[in-house]
């Protein structure tokens, strides 16, 4: 039985990408980026502050870090709360000692719930990014019409009420619908941490202007490596530092790149893991080949 002719007809089939946000571009055709002070690598430390519901909706899936056991899963719920009460402050202390400015994506519902933590982040000169409403309100194309628009508007309004005007957006679970990029651009966000199609910031076209994709490596994610893959802390720290060293070695040929990775407070901020966090941040902060900066600083330097 032969296939009908229309089965092989796909309107986006062409040389390059099957979408029009950015074009296909091999690395050898990329204009080399020069970071400040002659650095070979830009380190972008991302510290996500998440609010996980005790009774997660789980639509279309439970986000990473969601409750595990039947309701009420107080053990996992309070562990996440521990990260916001204790772990995040430990990470702030090490960031300050290493002289590194980080990006803190924050769920909008946390802006008033953890105000002392928000104040401490701002006092140390870090960047606050928008992280949607909560970890459980996931953007996807199966949402009812108007829901995603409303969520983004509520998120922007919550940050406005807190006196914050973030340019940077990260979606809960780093999950988007087909409309998310257009909607966040319309809401005034021009940097996004969801996409990682390159190891440098990439301009993406939307109906409301350009949004820059600043890459955060999922393969270096602390939750993925330490929890899901059950690696040891020293192995994880070595992987982060090896990635940076490899990028630095590539710089003479391909230019500067971005070493983007996460430090999740309820994971990286536990006492038995702080030696690894300290090792990563101290070595990056002392390395003359590394320029550590916020997402906004990195995008602006690359533009």
Sequential pLDDT tens for the chain (303 residues):
677 777 677 666 667 777 889 998 889 999 999 999 999 999 999 999 999 999 999 999 999 999 999 999 999 999 999 999 999 999 999 999 999 999 999 999 999 999 999 999 999 999 999 999 999 999 999 999 999 999 999 999 999 999 999 999 999 999 999 999 999 999 999 999 999 999 999 999 999 999 999 999 999 999 999 999 999 999 999 999 999 999 999 999 999 999 999 999 999 999 999 999 999 999 999 999 999 999 999 999 998
pLDDT of residue 17: 75
Q: Nearest 5 degrees, angle CA 36-CA 129-CA 27?
A: 45
Burial of 126 (0-12, 13-18, 19+ CB in 10 A): buried
Angle at Cα 261 formed by Cα 26 and Cα 41, nearest 5°? 55
Query: Three-state DSSP class for 79?
Result: helix
Write down all domains in the chain, each with its CATH number in brackets: 34-302 (3.20.20.370)
For residues 22 and 201, the answer to whether their CB atoms sit within 8 Å is no
User: Are 195 and 186 a contacting pair, CB within 8 Å?
Assistant: no
Residue 50's contacts (CB-CB under 8 Å, 6 or more residues apart) are 63, 65, 80, 107, 110, 131, 134, 135, 172, 264
Are 134 and 109 spatial neighbours (Cβ–Cβ below 8 Å)?
Answer: yes
């Amino acid at each position: 039985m032969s296939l009908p002719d229309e089965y092989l007809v796909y309107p986006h089939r062409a040389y390059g990408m099957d979408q029009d946000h950015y074009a296909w571009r091999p690395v050898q055709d990329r204009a080399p980026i020069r970071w400040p002070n002659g650095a070979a690598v830009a380190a972008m430390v991302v510290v996500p502050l998440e609010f996980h519901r005790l009774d997660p909706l789980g639509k279309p899936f439970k986000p990473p870090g969601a409750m595990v056991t039947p309701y009420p899963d107080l053990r996992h719920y309070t562990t996440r709360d521990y990260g916001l009460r204790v772990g995040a402050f430990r990470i702030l202390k090490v960031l300050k000692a290493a002289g590194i400015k980080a990006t803190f994506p924050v769920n909008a519902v946390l802006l008033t719930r953890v105000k002392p933590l928000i104040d401490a982040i701002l006092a140390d000169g870090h960047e606050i990014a928008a992280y949607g409403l909560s970890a459980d309100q996931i953007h996807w194309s199966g949402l009812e019409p108007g829901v995603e628009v409303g969520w983004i508007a509520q998120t922007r309004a919550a940050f406005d009420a807190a006196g914050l005007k973030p340019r940077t957006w990260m979606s809960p679970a780093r999950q988007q619908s087909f409309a998310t990029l257009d909607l966040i651009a319309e809401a005034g966000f021009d940097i996004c941490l969801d996409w990682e199609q390159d190891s440098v910031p990439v301009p993406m076209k939307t109906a409301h202007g350009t949004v820059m994709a600043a890459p955060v490596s999922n393969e270096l994610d602390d939750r993925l490596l330490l929890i899901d893959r059950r690696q040891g802390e020293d192995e994880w720290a070595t992987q982060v530092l090896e990635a940076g060293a490899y990028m630095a070695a590539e710089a003479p040929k391909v230019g500067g790149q971005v070493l983007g990775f996460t430090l999740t407070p309820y994971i990286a901020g536990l006492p038995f893991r702080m030696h690894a966090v300290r090792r990563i941040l101290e070595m990056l902060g002392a390395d003359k080949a590394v320029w550590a900066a916020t997402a906004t600083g990195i995008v602006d330097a690359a533009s």
